[in-house]
């Protein structure tokens, strides 16, 4: 069975319903992105599809490719048993298959682009023997896949459920236990593949970089869990600086260090590696802030749309207001213990949180563009710039 | 999978005729009788293409006393007596010998876990409290010294070799943390498991974190061959768990499946850690293979005895509940052997002991059968193989300690 056939079948396995975009479809017409309206899916897809042409192939499902060993039939079968249960793994799996914005395999694409943008090292000629396709070394392509593997592994591990917090609405305990089991094993399987891939690169500096990125990512996910809202909807008082540190860990570190590792593989010097790191870091930060802003800038939002109380606009809003006033606002937005998100959203929009989040997003976007300036002009560099423009445009 | 089983079977084949007769062994006539009989039986088995299962059964039924532990314990040194067992130096307890290099092992591991968040740090350090057996690090440092001495009589352990000991223990612990969540275990090493104290979500993250710290330490050694060797372990651990998820219907397949799972889950780490230190200490690939084979055979024996202890020991000694494997639906060595005598166990094995009363009935069957003895006998075979391999190295206190360690594996009770 070819990759395409298998991937087209996966949605059926997962009991998916609703509108689906074909995973391997690309947008045929290339329209200048400047003419498009801000964050329409068509615009984002377009930036991505142009980028994919530059690197040579569609990068969706990079991490799922590794599952195409004999284990896939086992994992898919096991995940199928979860259909009808409430285990988060099912949602994660569906998200991986459906090409939604949040689960876009962005990291891999960025690593490929920056590899191409940097080109071969002018100083060090020892990479002459590596094979290069579309301006990217095969080891760098491998690295892009490894990055996606690590990201997906933690995505899966995020979906573990605490068994003693289950309620009767979550369904039978047995299902949750089984779901946990499959989630752990699948995540571990992806990590094992990532480790093997790293070993094959025969470069211990790169192994160290990616291993430390994994460590950062795990700590970032841990913070996400810990600072999520408790029963009374009041989150920890973290402040924007701490938020930045934690977001770097959970969203920035992997991309930043992978970009740096891609430079190391091509034997670029420390300065180039640092620029790649900076691009990765700032681009990831602005992407996260953009994603946090979505509930606050969309014109039509349903009343039931919830948002994360630890997202950038909310944290900034809280910081401007001061802790006590913020808690008061939350209490006012509560009705019979349930939070009225629509009301809270209006309250936040009326404050300074949203605008300063937009400023922060643009700040990081600019830092990313600055880092790109040290790379020679090329198609790949333009694509990287376009990605930054796409995530910082809010009008 | 099948090929590894057949390979194992060939290397564990009966070759008593090749050994020189042991001096002073009890029942010398019995020994030569055993040799003749086993040689004949082995030939017959080869002709009939009997599975290992049946071979063991026929031999052990012919010699009902030959597989008792104490008997073999006396016989083993004699049978394996090669010309250079004694190195002339004082024979010390292998654990003491190994610990000389491992002082500060747990402090050093904790240093690798440079985590700022208090709770997360606490979770990751939870098992590095000095109360584990530290079996794997001990083997690793002893092997390191044995290889170094063999190569150039160097009595030092390199820093990188010691790092392997830490890394092996960290990888092992990371897999334990995940396994406990998967098995919903409540206690280990005499205390509550990480998942019971902090919940499943955080436990999984802690396991990932320990693994990442181990990988960083591994990368810092700066040797790509060693990185490849140990990342293989990480893959084997996961594949071993997957093997445990599935089950086989055919009896012979089941046993091969069990051995493969045992290799991947337990022996691979020990085998590859030994190989890694030998690579760091010595350029000779023959030595690397010796180290690997020693580790693999000791690892297999270790797990087999662990499976036996799950039936014969009581929970207090072990620090974790017994009949644990049955309760998880796992059919280990003693069960598989018992099933030969009591075919009614087949149905229970297929449904993974899920019906009420299955666990107790299965346990009774095992204790009534010779499943425990057979598994122990198999473990003894592996240990003999391990000793045979390690004896090829130049004599040293560490090499002798490794020999003694393989015997301790057989006689431990927790």
B117/A157 Cβ within 8 A? no
Cβ of A154 under 8 Å from any chain B Cβ? yes
- Residue A96, domain member (yes or no): yes
- pLDDT above 80: residue B87: no
What's the CATH number where A203 sits? 1.10.600.10
- pLDDT above 90: residue A249: yes
- Residue A17, domain member (yes or no): no
B204/A157 Cβ within 8 A? yes
Strands B187-188 and B191-192, sheet pairing:
antiparallel
- Residue A24, domain member (yes or no): no
B184/A221 Cβ within 8 A? no
Within the 185-224 window of chain A, which residues sit less than 8 Å (CB to CB) from chain B?
A: 185, 187-189, 191-193, 195-196, 198-200, 202-205, 207-208, 211-212, 214-215, 218-219, 221-223
- Residue A5, domain member (yes or no): no
- Residue A262, domain member (yes or no): yes
User: For residue range B205-221, what is the model confidence (pLDDT) as tens digits?
Assistant: 999 999 999 999 999 99
User: For residue range A62-121, what is the model confidence (pLDDT) as tens digits?
Assistant: 666 665 555 544 677 777 788 888 888 888 877 776 654 444 578 999 999 999 999 888
Alpha-carbon distance of B286 to B289, in angstroms, equals: 5
Residue partners of A189: CB distance under 8 A and separation at least 6: A67, A71, A75, B238, B242
Sign of CA dihedral A29, A32, A37, A40: positive
ipTM exceeding 0.90, yes/no: no
- Residue A22, domain member (yes or no): no
A192/B235 Cβ within 8 A? yes
Mean of the per-residue pLDDT values for chain B?
A: 80
Task: List chain A residues with CB under 8 Å of B237.
Answer: 188, 192
Residue partners of B360: CB distance under 8 A and separation at least 6: none
Largest interatomic CA distance in chain A: 68
Alpha-carbon distance of A339 to A351, in angstroms, equals: 19
**Domain count along chain A:** 1
- Residue A37, domain member (yes or no): no
Domain ranges, residue A299: 44-392
The pLDDT > 70 percentage for chain A reads: 77
* Residue B239 CA neighbour count, 13 Å, CB half: 21
* Burial B204-218, CB ≥16 within 10 A → b, else e: bbbbbbbbbbbbbbb
- Residue A34, domain member (yes or no): no
Q: Give the tokens for residue B105.
A: 């092992």
Q: How many residues does chain B have?
A: 414
Task: List chain A residues with CB under 8 Å of B205.
Answer: 157, 218, 221-222, 225
**Average pLDDT, integer, range A179-203:** 93
**Average pLDDT, integer, range B114-138:** 87
What predicted TM-score, i.e. pTM, was given to this entire model? Answer: 0.82
């Amino acid at each position: 069975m070819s990759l395409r056939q298998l991937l087209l079948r996966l949605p059926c396995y997962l009991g998916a319903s609703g509108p689906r975009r074909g995973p391997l479809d690309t947008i045929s017409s290339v329209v200048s992105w400047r003419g498009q309206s801000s964050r329409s899916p068509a615009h984002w897809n377009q930036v991505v599809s142009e980028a994919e042409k530059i690197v040579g192939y569609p990068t969706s499902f990079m991490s799922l490719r590794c599952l195409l060993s004999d284990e896939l039939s086992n994992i898919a079968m096991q995940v199928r048993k979860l259909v009808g249960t409430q285990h988060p793994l099912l949602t994660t799996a569906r998200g991986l298959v459906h090409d939604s914005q949040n689960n876009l395999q962005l990291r891999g694409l960025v690593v490929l682009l920056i590899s191409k943008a940097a080109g071969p090292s002018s100083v060090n000629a020892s990479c002459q023997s590596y094979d290069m396709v579309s301006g990217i070394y095969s080891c760098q392509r491998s690295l892009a896949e490894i990055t996606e593997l690590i990201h997906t592994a933690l995505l899966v591990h995020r979906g573990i459920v605490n068994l003693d917090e289950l309620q009767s609405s979550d369904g039978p305990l047995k299902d949750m236990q089984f779901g946990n089991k499959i989630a752990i094993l699948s995540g571990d399987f992806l990590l094992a593949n990532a480790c093997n891939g790293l070993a094959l690169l025969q470069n211990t500096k790169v192994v160290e970089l990616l291993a430390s990125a994994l460590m950062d990512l795990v700590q970032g996910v841990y913070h996400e869990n810990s600072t999520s809202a408790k029963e009374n909807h009041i989150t920890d008082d973290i402040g924007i600086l701490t938020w930045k540190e934690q977001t770097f860990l959970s969203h920035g570190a992997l991309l930043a260090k992978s970009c740096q590792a891609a430079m190391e593989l091509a034997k670029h010097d420390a300065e180039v590696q640092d620029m790649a790191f900076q691009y990765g870091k700032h681009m990831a930060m602005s992407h996260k802030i953009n994603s946090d802003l979505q509930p606050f800038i969309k014109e039509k939002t349903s009343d039931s749309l919830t948002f994360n109380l630890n997202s950038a606009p909310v944290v900034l809003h809280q910081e401007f207001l001061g802790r006590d006033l913020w808690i008061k606002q939350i209490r006012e937005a509560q009705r019979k213990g349930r939070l009225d998100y629509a009301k809270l959203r209006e309250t936040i929009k009326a404050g300074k949180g949203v605008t300063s989040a937009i400023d922060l997003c643009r700040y990081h976007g600019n830092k990313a563009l600055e880092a790109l300036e040290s790379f020679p002009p090329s198609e790949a560099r333009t694509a990287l710039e376009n990605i930054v423009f796409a995530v910082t445009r809010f009008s | 999978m099948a090929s590894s089983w057949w390979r194992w079977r060939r290397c564990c084949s009966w070759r008593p005729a090749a050994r020189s007769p042991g001096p002073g062994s009890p029942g010398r006539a019995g020994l030569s009788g055993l040799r003749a009989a086993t040689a004949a039986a082995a030939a017959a088995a080869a002709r009939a293409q009997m599975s290992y299962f049946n071979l063991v059964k026929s031999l052990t039924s012919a010699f009902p006393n030959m597989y008792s532990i104490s008997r073999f314990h006396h016989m083993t040194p004699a049978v394996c007596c090669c010309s250079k067992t004694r190195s002339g130096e004082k024979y010390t307890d292998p654990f003491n010998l190994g610990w000389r290099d491992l002082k500060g092992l747990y402090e050093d591991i904790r240093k690798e876990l440079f985590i700022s968040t208090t709770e997360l740090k606490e979770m990751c350090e939870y098992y590095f409290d000095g109360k584990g057996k530290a079996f794997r690090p001990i083997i690793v440092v002893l092997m390191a010294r044995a290889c170094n001495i063999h190569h150039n009589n160097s009595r030092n352990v390199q820093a990188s070799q010691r790092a392997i000991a830490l890394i092996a223990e960290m990888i092992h612990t990371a897999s334990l943390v995940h396994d406990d969540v998967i098995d919903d275990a409540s206690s280990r090493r005499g205390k509550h498991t990480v998942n019971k104290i902090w919940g499943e979500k955080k436990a999984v993250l802690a396991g990932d974190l320990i693994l990442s710290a181990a990988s960083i330490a591994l990368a810092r050694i700066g040797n790509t061959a060693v990185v490849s060797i140990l990342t293989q372990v990480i893959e084997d651990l996961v594949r071993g768990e997957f093997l445990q998820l599935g089950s086989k219907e055919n009896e012979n397949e089941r046993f091969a499946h069990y051995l493969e799972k045992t290799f991947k889950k337990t022996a691979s780490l020990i085998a590859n850690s030994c190989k890694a230190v030998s690579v760091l200490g010595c350029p000779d690939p023959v030595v690397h293979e010796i180290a690997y084979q020693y580790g693999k055979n000791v690892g297999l024996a270790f797990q087999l005895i662990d499976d036996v202890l799950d039936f014969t020991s009581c929970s207090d000694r072990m620090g974790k509940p017994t009949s644990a494997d049955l309760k998880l639906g796992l059919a280990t060595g003693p069960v598989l052997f018992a099933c030969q005598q009591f075919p009614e166990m087949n149905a229970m094995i297929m449904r993974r002991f899920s019906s009420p009363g299955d666990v107790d009935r299965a346990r009774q069957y095992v204790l009534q059968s010779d499943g425990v003895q057979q598994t122990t006998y198999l473990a003894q075979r592996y240990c003999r193989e391990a000793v045979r391999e390690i004896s090829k190295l130049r004599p040293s206190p560490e090499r002798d300690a490794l020999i003694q360690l393989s015997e301790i594996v057989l006689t431990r009770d927790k």
